[in-house]
Amino acid sequence: MKRGVNRITVALIVALTLTFASLGVTPANAQVSTGSVSGNLVDAQGAGVPSASVQLTNKDSNQIFTSQSDNAGLFHLAQLQPGTYRVEISKQGFKKVVFDTIEVAVGADRGLGAIKLEIVSWRPGKSRPGFPGADSARRCE
């Protein structure tokens, strides 16, 4: 008698599993409402520039997001609301790089690619652009 009950239970479980599978039941996916910005900071020789400051400013809300490049020169800022951002990249000894209008879209990474940081050149007796207090920047669109 137990054998007959076990067979019926197994047959019922298999039938229900196949029924639900044939209905195409799939798990619900979470909706994405943010985007991200990433890039690779390199010097003139193509080597990664670590510990550079990366600042994004949302042009509509003036909200600021900051990060630093990793040991390979890579940076990634995630969970950004869609909109237009200003990106400023700086590191002592290099000229500041500014992207004035970077668009961030829902569900997308706005990759800026390899960004070449230029070493500050200066002569004795002249101001040293690119160092704290100096105002020099390379603007990019």
Query: How does 19-48 read in b/e, with b if 16+ C-beta sit within 10 Å?
Result: eeeeeeeeeeeeeeeebbbbbbbbbeeeeb
How far apart CA 103 and CA 35 sit, in angstroms, is: 10
How far apart CA 67 and CA 75 sit, in angstroms, is: 7
The whole-number pLDDT of residue 38 equals: 98
How far apart CA 129 and CA 13 sit, in angstroms, is: 74
Kindly state the tokens that stand for 82. 């869609």
What pTM, to 2 d.p., does this model score? 0.67
In a domain, 63, yes or no: yes
Could you report the per-residue pLDDT of 18-66, keeping only the tens digit for each? 555 555 555 555 688 999 999 999 999 999 999 999 999 999 999 999 9
In a domain, 104, yes or no: yes
Ranges assigned E (strand) in the chain: 35-42, 53-58, 64-68, 74-80, 83-90, 96-104, 109-116, 137-140
In a domain, 81, yes or no: yes
Residue 125's CATH number: 2.60.40.10
The number of distinct structural domains making up the chain is 1
In a domain, 115, yes or no: yes
Per-residue confidence at 135, pLDDT binned at 50, 70, 90? very low
In a domain, 6, yes or no: no
Kindly state the tokens that stand for 1. 């008698």
In a domain, 13, yes or no: no
Name the residue range of residue 87's domain.
35-140
